[in-house]
């Protein structure tokens, strides 16, 4: 028994790797997912804020993440964009992460394709047609985090004279029929947008708070990886952020809120399995540890 327990404590970590792999692989191969999620208060705050905006209002969506965090952050951005498109909120999207443009283009492209024809959403609501330039604009990436956030407080054209495709932004307040980017006729700086939603796996939301909120008092909502969640909590409490969407759980909550279960919901089943597996490992490991230590203290050993 001692031998078995001791061997368990010193188990080769490859066995743990294998179990984790199976825990994720099996539900995914079978294609099962959780059916519902239980939204947390900090997610509901973001949802409510956007939901209370009027049709035609503008927000800045800053997708400051790289491909490495796609699985966690893309479902979130997708759900947010769907909410905006369904409600008619116009989105100025940009990225402050050097590896961001590829990610954003793929995502925006996917959603614009989804919203290219009038139709019905899976929950039965009407799916309107949304177009690039009219309802969403992607400005691309510019080097320098703080400087671009500050520039947005003065004039978006300081940092982004063109959109990602190289189309010149129209002058603020100019005739929207004369340009392919009518949305940008209404945007000069933070005064024209209702809030900034930054989605990131990095410290960039802190920059948004320090420069966007602190200097220009624009409201900031954050979508972050689960690991940054605890880090941003102080900002939530001091009122520097209006809400937080943490990780895949947050994304699943958001999918629940907009009534459109998607990839985050599917992912929550393997999540639950592996979480419980790790918890089980820790508990068993500690039990074994205490038994072994007790035997060793008694001077026992091999038996």
Partner 1 sequence: MKNKWLMFLMGLGMAVVVGFLSHFMFYTTGEDQTLQMHTWLGLTVAAILTLFIYTFLYKDNPLYKFAEHLLVGTSAGYYLVVYYHNSVKPNMIDQIVAGFQQIGQMRAEGTFNFVDGILTNAGIWAIVPGIIGFLILFRLSRKLGWLARYSFGFYIGTAMGMYIPVGFQASIVEQIRGTIVHSAAAEPTPVFNLVYFGEFFSHPTWGGFVQAISGPLIIVGIFCTLIYFFFSKEHTGVFGAFGKVGIWFLMVGFGASFGATVMARISLLIGRMDFLINDWFKGLILPLFGGG
Partner 2 sequence: MRREVPVLICAIMGVAMIIQFFIPHPVSQAIYKTVIKWFIIIVTFAMVLGLLSLTRMHLTKLRRGDKDWFFSLVTISSLFVNLLVGFFSFRITDSFIFEGLKVPFNFFTISFATGLAAGSPFMNLFDYIQVPMQATMFSLLAFFIASASFRTFRARTVEATLLLVAALIVMVGRVPVGHMISTSIPALSDWILVNPNMAAKRGIMIGVGLGGISMALKIILGIERSWLGGGGE
Partner 3 sequence: MGLRAESRSWGIGIFLVLTLFFIPALASAKEPAPPESGEAKVEAPTPEGETVSPLGYPLNFTAVDNPNDDGMKIKLTWELSPGDQPELGKKENPVKGYRVSRLGPEEAEWQLVTVQPPGIAYFLDEGTEEFPLENDVLYDYKIEVVGEGEILSPPIVQKGIVSSQQFFNTDRINILVCVIAYLCILLFYIFRARKGHELFVRRIAGLDAVDEAIGRATEMGRPILFITGLHDVADISTIAAITILGKVARKTAEYETPLLVPNYDPMVMLVAQETVKQAYLEGGHPDAYSDDMVFFLTTSQFGFVAAVDGIMVREKPATNFYMGYYYAESLILAETGADTGAIQIAGTDSVTQLPFFITSCDYTIIGEELYAASAYLSKEPLQLGSLKAQDFAKVIIGVLMLTGIAATLFGWMWVVDLFIAR
| Residues lying near partner 3 in the complex (CB under 8 A) | 13, 66, 68, 173, 191, 201-202, 214-215, 225, 227-228, 230-231
129 binds, among partner 3, partner 2, partner 1, none (CB under 5 to 8 A by kind): none
- Which residues have a Cβ under 8 Å from the Cβ of 63 and sit 6 or more positions away? 73, 77, 93, 94, 95, 97, 100, 103, 104, 107, 199, 200
What is the DSSP track for 28-63? HHHT---S-----HHHHHHHHHHHTSPTT-EEEEEE
Residue 62 backbone phi and psi in degrees, to 5: -100, 105
| Bridge-based pairing state of the strands 220-224 and 196-200 | parallel
155 lies in the binding site for partner 2 (CB under 8 A): no
Q: Is 129 helix (H, G, I), strand (E, B) or coil?
A: coil
Q: Where does this chain touch partner 2 (CB under 8 A) — which range of 56-64, 169-177, 190-198, 275-283?
A: 275-283
Nearer to partner 3, 37 or 225 (CB): 225
Rounded least distance, CB 128 to partner 2, Å: 26
2 contacts which partner out of partner 1, partner 2, partner 3, none, CB within 5 to 8 A by kind?
A: none
Using CA atoms, how far apart are residues 132 and 282, in angstroms rounded to an integer? 50
By a kind-dependent CB cut-off of 5 to 8 A, residue 191 interacts, out of partner 1, partner 2, partner 3, none, with partner 3
Pick from 97, 130, 194, 249 the residue near partner 2 by CB under 8 A: 249
What gap in Å lies between CA 131 and CA 137, rounded to an integer?
Answer: 9
**Smaller CB distance to partner 3: residue 39 or 212?**
212
Bridge partner list, 137: 92
- Residues 111-150 binding partner 1 (CB under 8 A) are 141-144
Angle at which helix 41-51 crosses helix 247-257, to 10 degrees, equals 50
d(CA 236, CA 243): 6
Q: In the complex, what is the shortest distance from the CB of residue 190 to partner 1, in angstroms, rounded to a whole number?
A: 18
Residue with tokens 């009534």: 259
Site string for partner 1, 55-74 (x = CB under 8 A): -------------xxxxx--
Residues that bind partner 2 (CB under 8 A): 11, 13, 16-17, 19-21, 24, 34, 36-38, 40, 66-71, 99, 101-102, 105, 143-144, 146-147, 150-151, 226, 229-231, 233-234, 237, 249, 268, 271-272, 274-279, 281-283, 285-286, 289-290
């Amino acid at each position: 028994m001692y031998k078995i327990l001791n061997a368990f404590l010193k188990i080769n970590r490859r066995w743990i790797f294998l179990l984790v792999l199976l825990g994720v692989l099996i539900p995914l191969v079978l294609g099962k997912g959780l059916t519902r999620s239980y939204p947390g208060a900090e997610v509901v705050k973001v949802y409510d804020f956007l939901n209370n905006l009027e049709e035609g209002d503008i927000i800045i969506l800053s997708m400051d993440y790289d491909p490495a965090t796609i699985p966690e952050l893309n479902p979130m951005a997708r759900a947010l964009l769907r909410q905006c498109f369904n409600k008619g909120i116009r989105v100025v999207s940009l990225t402050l992460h050097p590896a961001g443009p590829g990610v954003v283009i793929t995502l925006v492209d996917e959603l614009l394709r989804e919203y290219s024809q009038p139709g019905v959403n899976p929950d039965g609501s009407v799916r309107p047609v949304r177009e690039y330039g009219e309802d969403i604009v992607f400005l691309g990436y510019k080097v320098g985090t703080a400087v671009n956030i500050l520039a947005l407080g003065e004039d978006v054209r300081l940092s982004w004279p063109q959109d990602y495709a190289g189309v010149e932004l129209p002058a603020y307040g100019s005739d929207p029929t004369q340009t392919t980017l009518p949305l940008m006729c209404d945007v000069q700086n933070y005064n024209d947008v209702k809030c900034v939603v930054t989605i990131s796996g990095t410290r960039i939301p802190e920059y948004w708070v320090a420069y966007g909120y602190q200097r220009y008092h624009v409201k900031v909502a954050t979508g972050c990886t689960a690991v940054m969640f605890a880090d941003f909590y102080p900002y939530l409490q001091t009122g520097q952020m209006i809400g937080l969407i943490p990780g895949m759980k947050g994304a699943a909550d958001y999918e629940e809120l907009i009534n459109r279960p998607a990839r985050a919901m599917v992912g929550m089943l393997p999540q639950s399995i592996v979480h419980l597996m790790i918890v089980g490992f820790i508990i068993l490991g500690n039990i074994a540890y205490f038994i072994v230590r007790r035997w060793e203290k008694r001077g026992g050993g091999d038996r």
